[in-house]
Amino acid sequence: MRNQPDPAAAPWVQDAILERFRWTRNLSRDLAQGLNEADMTVQSMPDASPVKWHLAHTTWFFETFLLRDQVPGYRLFDERWPFLFNSYYEAEGARMARPERGLLTRPTVAEMLAYRDHVDEAMVAALPRLMERHGELVELGIQHEQQHQELLLTDLKHLFSRNPLGPAYAAANPAPKLESVPLRWIAGPEGLAEMGSDGRGFAFDNELPRHPSWLAPHALANRPVTNGEWIEFVADRGYASAALWLSDGWDWVRQEAVSTPLYWRGHGNDWEHFTLAGWQPVDPAAPVTHVSFYEADAFASWAGARLPTEHEWEAVAQGRDTLGGVQLDHAGAVAPRPEGEVDGFASLFGNVWEWTGSAYRPWPGYRTAAGAVGEYNGKFMSGQFVLKGGSCATPRGHVRGSYRNFFHPHQRWQFTGVRLARSL
């Protein structure tokens, strides 16, 4: 296993970014180790993408926005492939429809890995020149690949969950049984607070600009909602009580016949769920995961609480250790890193993405970047909700308090969980 570069290292120092580039590119390949050609090609639903496509798309990003556009004389590895591996960049022209990515039985995995080798070699050779004028774009490519490393694992988990054999991606590491932490309410900061990136280190454009926000008196739960608490919600017919649900959420529950978090099966107090280690017993003390915004909001109503706003969550998280939580190692196995409470709060980072009640909209004064990379975040600021904190599948060092993840309210194949809040 390779040691991860220090995420606190100066991002624009050439030696540091070369190390991070190599480490990130190698990690993607490590995550695919042990998978066969079919594992890497099949697409289980339109929201997910095949492993092979993730490996190629992240390579396309470096080839398109850095090598092709910024390195004179560079020739595309295959002129047909931009159509296959462009994701949603309208400025880059026509592309394969997302629901059809699983049809790519060709190129083969071997050809895909040769593509990665070709682009990596060219990137390393051009890096001194690229760093002179395009250091931020190099860093964006690294951060982009880290996002896809998490997507690779979550998409693969969904794929394996649909297999009746329940295959395991990796063996479960033995870990001590979690102890239940009593739920406590902790008053959050109130009054005028500064939000968004503070300008130190990398930030996506949707984290900018830094801006003031007024926080009314409120409290946040000291920890995320647990599986045990969710079992109580199920037993109390929470999924059958229309009064708890938003109208769209209630329609979704009925249309999709939803009665538990994604990947759960069982009844009463006897539950198991599908994990990257295959089917495992549900740990009542662990944070609940794979729940939608609709489910999170309904649970909060049932508990006599609400979801935190994005600003409330971020105000608590600013300045805290982002490297804690229960993370996955290079092979995708769970690698616990015990996280003690800080000022009473636990598990703000690195266990589950925590839904907020805030719509994903631009900060005051937000401006998209010039060119095709301006499509990275801004055009998705409609109909989605913000999540904070990162998950067990998020690469260490990738998240921060100002980080803004976002999904549609019905989506739950990501490692999404809940932290409650209430007004004071």
226 DSSP β-pair partners: 287
Reading the block at residue 264, the tokens are 């759960």
Q: Is the pLDDT of residue 247 over 90?
A: yes
pLDDT surpassing 50 at residue 333: no
Ranges 5-9, 90-94, 108-112, 199-203: which has the least confidence: 5-9
Query: Rounded to whole angstroms, how far apart are CA atoms 297 and 286?
Result: 19
For residue 250, what are the CA distances in angstroms to 230, 235, 253? 18, 18, 5
CA–CA separation, 113 and 130 (whole Å): 23
CA-to-CA distance for 201 and 179, rounded, in angstroms? 36
What percent of the chain is predicted at pLDDT more than 70?
Answer: 91
- Residue carrying structure tokens 């944070």: 287
The closest alpha carbon to 332, from 172, 216, 207, belongs to: 172
Which DSSP letter does residue 6 get?
-
Give the pLDDT mean for 253-277: 95
pTM above 0.85, yes or no: yes
100 vs 376: which has the higher pLDDT: 100
- Contact yes or no for 82/93 (Cβ under 8 A): yes
Tell me, what DSSP letter sits at residue 279?
E
Three-class DSSP category at 359: strand
346 band by pLDDT with thresholds 50, 70 and 90: confident
What is the chain's Cα-based Rg? 21
Asked if 213 contacts 195 with a C-beta cutoff of 8 angstroms, the reply is yes
Answer with the residue of higher pLDDT: 368 or 174. 368
Mean pLDDT across 304-325: 90
Q: Which comes out higher in pLDDT, residue 337 or 172?
A: 172
Question: Can you list the alpha helix ranges (DSSP code H) found in 162-236?
Answer: 227-235
- Do 223 and 419 touch, CB atoms closer than 8 A? yes
**Closest listed residue to residue 300, CA positions, set 225, 369, 232:** 225
Half-sphere exposure of 317 (CA within 13 A, CB side): 31
Phi first, then psi: give them for residue 325, nearest 5 degrees: 90, -170
Q: What integer pLDDT is reported at residue 395 of this predicted model? A: 92
How confident is the model at residue 12, as a pLDDT? Answer: 47
φ/ψ of 66, rounded to 5, equals: -120, -60
Dihedrals φ, ψ of 406, to 5°?
-155, 140
- Token readout for 316 is 């608590």
User: What does pLDDT average to over the chain?
Assistant: 91
Q: What is the pLDDT of residues 87-143, one digit of tens each?
A: 999 999 999 999 999 999 999 999 999 999 999 999 999 999 999 999 999 999 999
